[in-house]
Amino acid sequence: MDPDFWHERWQQKQTGFHQTRVNPLLETFWPRCMGAARPRVFVPLCGKSLDMIWLQNLGHPVLGTELSPLAVDEFFRENGLSAVKTPLGSGFVRAESGDISLLCGNHFDLTPDLVGKIGAIYDRAALVAMPPEMQGRYAEQVFRLLPETPPMLLITLEYGAEEMSGPPFPVPEETVVRLFGQAYRIELLSARDALEGNPQLRAKGLSRLTEKAFWLRPKLRPEP
C-alpha cells in the first residue's frame, strides 16, 4: 500500500477503521490464550487503537508501529498521556509513555534492533491493510523481525473480493495457513458475521463479511 494513501486518510480524518472501543475478540481470547504470562506485545500498524491501552492495563509492555505521526500524536493526546519523542535510525521516531512505545515510520523499514525482544503479537489491523500481493511480504517481515516466532492473536476479515476494493482487504483462512503454517500451529478461535456492525462496508457493496480470530502458536523446533 502506498504510504501517501495512509497519510492522506489520517489527514482527512477518513479513519473508519479505527474502533472506538476495545476489540471484543481481544477481550475474549487474549486472557484465555496467554494465561498469566505478561510478555512485551508487538502491535503492527497500530493506528491509535485503544487495544494498546487495554493490553497495558493488563500488565503488558506494548510496542506499536505506525506510519502516520498524526495517529501517534492523537493516540497519546486522546488517552491523556505525555509522550517523550526520540529520533532513531532508519527514519523512525520513538514516542514513549510508560510501558507503551510507538515507532513512527514505514513498517517495512523496521529492523530487529529497533523492535527488540517481543513475547507476543497482536494483529487486528495490519494484515487486512495489505492488498493480497503484499500479504506475503508482510508475513516475511514478521519472520525477519521476530525469528523466535512468538505467539500471535490474528484477526482477519473474509468477503468476496469482487464486491469491494479494500482496504480492509480479505484474508481467507487458506491464506493464513499459507503465510504462517510452516512456523505456527493455527487454531481458529472464532468466526462471526460482522456485516451488521460495519455499515460503512455494507454501503460499499458487501453482501457478507466474516471476522475470524486465530491463535498462532510456534511449532516446536527440533533440538540442534
Binding site members for S-adenosyl-L-methionine: 10, 45, 66, 124
**162 three-class SS:** coil
Could you tell me the sign of the dihedral formed by the alpha carbons of 98, 104, 108, 111, in that order? negative
Q: Could you tell me the CA-to-CA distances from 133 to 33, 137, 167, 204 in Å, in that order?
A: 30, 8, 13, 22
Closest by CA position to 165, among listed 5, 3, 4, 35: 5
- Can you say which residues are annotated as belonging to the binding site? 10, 45, 66, 124
Angle at 43 between CA 21 and CA 168, to 5 degrees: 65
Beta strands in 39-83 (DSSP E): 41-43, 62-66
Please give the DSSP secondary-structure letter assigned to residue 203.
T
